[in-house]
Structure 1
Amino acid sequence: MDRSAEFRKWKAQCLSKADLSRKGSVDEDVVELVQLLNGREQFFTTSSCAGRIILLDQGINGSEVQKQNCCWLLVTHKPCVKDDVIVALKKANGDAILKFEPLVLHVQCRQLQDAQILAVRSTHGLEVPLTHKGKLMVTEEYINFLIKIANQKMEENKKRIERFYNCLQHALEKETISTTSFPKEKIREKNNSSYTHKKKRNPEKACGKYITEENNKELENDDHDDPGISVTIFPEDY
C-alpha cells in the first residue's frame, strides 16, 4: 500500500471514531475550521478546542498543574461571570488556578510541506493561582479583574480563529492553483533547489492572499519565487 492510500485509510479510521472529549463534540467556534481541514485530502484533525476559561483544583499536595490529576471546578468556552467563579472556588480543597487557554488544534498531515502551511504559534494565555490549601488568597475585586482579562482574551481568541480560518482558506486555494498550474517535475525541482536567491515577498502573498489568474502568470515568469511550496503563511507571533 502506498503512503497516500495508507494516509487515507488512517484518516477514515480516525474520523469514524467517537469523540472522547469531555464535551463530546467539536466546539461551535471551530467547527468550520475543522470541516475545512478534514475536507482536504492531505489533513485530518485528531482533537481541537476553540478556547476556554477553566478553574482547576490541584489538590492539597499539588505542586504543578497536571489536568489529568486535577478537579475541574469550572470550564466554559464562553465569557464567564464573577459569581460563577466564586461559587466554584468554594469547592476548592487545594491550590485552585484560573486559566484561559486559546485555540488548540491537533492536525495530522500527509507530508512535511502540508504541515508547513499550518505553521502557527501563539502565547495568548493566562494562568493565575487563586487559593492555597483551600484558602482564598485574593480579593473578589481582583477575581473580577482577572475575569475581565480572561473574557477579553476569549474575544480576541475568537477573532484570531476567524483570521486563521480565512488565511488557511486562501493558502489552500493558492496551493490548489499552484499545483494545477505547474508540472509535478517542475514543482519537485523547485522544492529541492537551494533558497539562496529568495527575494522579499509581497505582504499580500505572504498572508495567503488569493492568487488571481493574472498573479499566477506572474509567478510562472518568476524563477525566484516557489509557487506555494513549503511556504509559512502565518507570522510567528500570530
Structure 2
Amino acid sequence: MDRSGEFQKWKTQSLNKADLSRKGSVDDDVVELVRLLNGREQFFTTSSCAGRILLLDGSINSCEIQKQNCSWLLVTHRLCAKDDVLSALKKAKGDAVLKFEPFVLHVQCRQLQDAQVLHSVAIESGFRNSGITVGKRGKTMLAVRSTHGLEVPLSHYGRLMVTEEYIDFLLKIANQKMEENKKRIERFYRCLRLALERAEAGGLQPEAEKTTPPVYTHRRKRKTGKAHGQRSSPEGRTDFASDEDNAEISLSFFPENY
C-alpha cells in the first residue's frame, strides 16, 4: 500500500471509532476547527479539548499521575461562578485542586511538510508550546498546546485551606484564561482556514515557520540498546499526550496582561 493510501486507511479507522472521551463528543468551541481539519485529505484529529475549568478531589500524587484516580467534583467548558465551586467543595474528602486546562488538539498529518505548515499556523495563533512527533511507520503527529494553565490546591483531607475571597480571586484568573483561550482558538481557526484556502488556490504550501519546529523522532528498539519512543494510539478522542509531552508543558499562574 502506498503512503497516501495507508494514511487514508488510518484516517478512516480513527474517525469511525467511538468517542471514548468523558464528554463523549467534540466540544462546541472546537467543532468547526475539527471539521475543517478532518475535511482535508492531509489531516485528521485524534483528540481535542476546547479548554476547561475543573475541581478534582483525591490525593495530590494520584491526581498528578492520572485523573481517573480522582473524583471530578466540577467540570465546565464555560466561565465558572464562585457559588458552583463552593457547592462542589462541600463534597471534597481529600485534597481538592482547582485547575484550568487550556485548549489542546492532536492532529495526525500525512507527511512532515503538512505538519510543519500546521505548526507554523499554531505558533502564529499563540499556541507556542506546540510540537511535532514522528513515530513508527512515519506517523507524524502535531500537538497544538498552550502554556497558560492554572493549578491550585484548595483543601486538604476535606478541610478548606483558603478563604472564599481567595477562591473568587482564583476564578477571576481562571475565567480570564478561559476567555483568552477562546480567542486563541478563533484566531487559529481563521488563520488555518486562510492558509489552506491560499494553498489550494495557488497549489502551493503556505510559508512555513522561519525557525525549525521541534520534531521528535521515535525509533524501534534494537539489540544495540537504542531507546524507542512510546507508540501513540489513535483511540477515538482519547488523550495522546505522553510523558515526553508533559515534560514540555510549563504552566503560568497569571494570564497575560493581568
The TM-score bracket by the shorter chain reads 0.7 to 0.9
Contact 1:60 1:93 in 2 (8 A): no
The 1:228/1:113 distance shift into structure 2, 3 A limit, reads same
Q: Are 1:37 and 2:14 matched, yes or no?
A: no
Deviations 1:153-173 (A, max 9, x none): 111111110000011112212
Q: More strand per residue: 1 or 2? A: 2
Code of the residue aligned with 2:11 in structure 1: it is K
Q: Which residue of 1 aligns with 2:183?
A: 159
Q: Are 1:174 and 2:198 matched, yes or no?
A: yes
Structure 1 position 118, deviation (Å) = 2.4
Please list, as runs of the form range in 1=range in 2, the aligned pairs for 1:135-214 lying within 5 A after superposition.
135-178=159-202, 180=203
The 1:62/1:11 distance shift into structure 2, 3 A limit, reads closer
Q: Give the TM-score normalised by structure 1.
A: 0.74
Segments of 5+ residues of structure 1 without an aligned counterpart are 182-226
Contact 1:59 1:71 in 2 (8 A): no
Aligned residues: 189
Structure 1 position 60, deviation (Å) = 7.6
Question: Mean alpha-carbon deviation: is it higher for 56-65 or for 130-139?
Answer: 56-65
Q: Which residue of 1 aligns with 2:79?
A: 79
Structure 1 position 67, deviation (Å) = 1.1
Deviations 1:80-115 (A, max 9, x none): 111110111111111111011111111111101111
Q: Which residue of 2 aligns with 1:112?
A: 112
Question: Mean alpha-carbon deviation: is it higher for 154-163 or for 169-178?
Answer: 169-178
The 1:112/1:84 distance shift into structure 2, 3 A limit, reads same
SS in 2 for 1:123: coil
**CA distance in 2 between partners of 1:162 and 1:63 (Å):** 30
**CA distance in 2 between partners of 1:123 and 1:173 (Å):** 29
Contact 2:63 2:70 in 1 (8 A): no
SS in 2 for 1:118: helix
Contact 1:58 1:64 in 2 (8 A): no
Q: Are 1:228 and 2:202 matched, yes or no?
A: no
Contact 1:103 1:157 in 2 (8 A): yes
Deviations 1:132-152 (A, max 9, x none): 121111000100111111111
Q: Which residue of 1 aligns with 2:235?
A: none
Code of the residue aligned with 1:32 in structure 2: it is E
Contact 2:96 2:153 in 1 (8 A): yes
Identity among equivalent pairs (%): 74
Q: Which residue of 1 aligns with 2:153?
A: 129
Deviations 1:195-221 (A, max 9, x none): xxxxxxxxxxxxxxxxxxxxxxxxxxx
Q: Give the TM-score normalised by structure 2.
A: 0.68
Task: Tell me the C-alpha RMSD between the 2 structures.
Answer: 2.3
Q: Which residue of 2 aligns with 1:14?
A: 14
**CA distance in 1 between partners of 2:85 and 2:18 (Å):** 31
Structure 1 position 61, deviation (Å) = 6.8
SS in 1 for 2:41: coil
**CA distance in 2 between partners of 1:133 and 1:4 (Å):** 54
Contact 2:116 2:209 in 1 (8 A): yes
The 1:46/1:70 distance shift into structure 2, 3 A limit, reads same
The 1:63/1:46 distance shift into structure 2, 3 A limit, reads closer
**CA distance in 2 between partners of 1:46 and 1:83 (Å):** 35
Structure 1 position 63, deviation (Å) = 7.4
Q: More helix per residue: 1 or 2? A: 1
SS in 2 for 1:23: coil
Contact 1:58 1:66 in 2 (8 A): no
Q: Larger RCO: Structure 1 or Structure 2 (Cα < 8 Å, ≥ 6 residues apart)?
A: 2
Structure 1 position 177, deviation (Å) = 3.6
**CA distance in 1 between partners of 2:86 and 2:175 (Å):** 16
**CA distance in 1 between partners of 2:200 and 2:8 (Å):** 19
The 1:24/1:233 distance shift into structure 2, 3 A limit, reads farther
